[in-house]
């Protein structure tokens, strides 16, 4: 199990926190003065400058991609090793690779990626592009059985129905 510090406590994190696997969150960092000093999941939210003295394996950047470069630079300036700073996606990939987890974890990882992709599609991405990306994600997953592929397609249907458009469900996910 990895000890992580989460950098970013907004919606990006709250929408994904349940997807963090093999993880013990030991602290939270945020630049928002309104959040610092408050608690989340019984841990205090502090400014990034307070990273010194924390014993962690990784810092996970929980923000949109366009914010992550600045967040990483900020942490490096504070003396954090760049190799220990990962985006949420990089962290999930690393956990999967390093633990050589079983089939259910592989499916959980793909499911997490499907959920993220669906949420991004909901926020205005071209619906046809979103469908193609989800379909490609399933097709690219190596070694899936036919039943596992069907299971993932059903998961896609569920997220699609919940987040995007129930009317177009049958058109896309036959």
Q: In this predicted model, what pLDDT tens digit does every residue of 140-154 receive, in sequence order?
A: 776 667 777 777 877
Phi, psi of 115 (to 5 degrees): -65, -45
Check pLDDT > 60 for residue 99.
no
The pLDDT assigned to 114 comes to: 77
Contact by Cβ (8 Å): 6, 25: yes
The pLDDT assigned to 69 comes to: 96
Share above pLDDT 90 across residues of the chain, in percent, rounded to a whole number: 41
Of 14-23, 24-33, 111-120, least confident by mean pLDDT is 111-120
DSSP 5: E
Q: Kindly state the average pLDDT of the residues 15-40.
A: 91
Long-range contacts of range 2-5, CB-CB < 8 Å, 24 or more positions apart?
2/57, 2/58, 2/95, 3/55, 3/56, 3/57, 4/56, 4/57, 4/58, 4/59, 4/60, 4/91, 5/29, 5/51, 5/54, 5/56, 5/58, 5/59, 5/60
Indicate the pLDDT class of residue 167, thresholds 50, 70 and 90.
Answer: low
Q: Which residue in the block uniquely carries the two structure tokens 């962290």? A: 91
Check pLDDT > 80 for residue 68.
yes
**C-alpha span between 47 and 29 (Å, rounded):** 5
What is the three-class DSSP state of 34?
A: coil
Task: List, edge to edge, every strand of the sheet that includes 43-46.
Answer: 39-40, 43-46, 23-29, 2-7, 58-61, 85-87
pTM of the shown model? 0.60
Indicate the pLDDT class of residue 162, thresholds 50, 70 and 90.
Answer: low
- Of the chain, the end-to-end C-alpha distance in Å amounts to 39
Helix count (H) and strand count (E) of the chain? 7, 6
Q: What's the token pair of residue 89?
A: 């996606």
């Amino acid at each position: 199990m990895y000890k992580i510090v989460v950098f970013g406590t907004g919606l990006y994190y709250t929408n994904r926190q349940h997807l963090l696997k093999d993880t013990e969150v030991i602290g939270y960092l945020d630049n928002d003065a309104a959040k610092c000093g408050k608690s989340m999941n019984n841990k205090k939210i502090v400014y990034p400058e307070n990273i010194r003295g924390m014993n962690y394996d990784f810092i996970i950047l929980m923000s949109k991609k366009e914010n992550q470069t600045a967040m990483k630079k900020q942490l490096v300036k504070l003396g954090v090793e760049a190799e220990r700073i990962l985006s949420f996606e990089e962290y999930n990939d690393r956990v999967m690779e390093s633990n050589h987890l079983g089939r259910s974890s592989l499916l959980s990882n793909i499911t997490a990626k499907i959920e993220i992709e669906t949420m991004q599609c909901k926020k205005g991405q071209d619906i046809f592009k979103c469908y193609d990306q989800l379909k490609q994600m399933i097709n690219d997953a190596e070694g899936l059985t036919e039943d596992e592929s069907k299971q993932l397609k059903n998961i896609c249907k569920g997220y699609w129905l919940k987040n995007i458009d129930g009317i177009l469900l049958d058109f896309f996910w036959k």
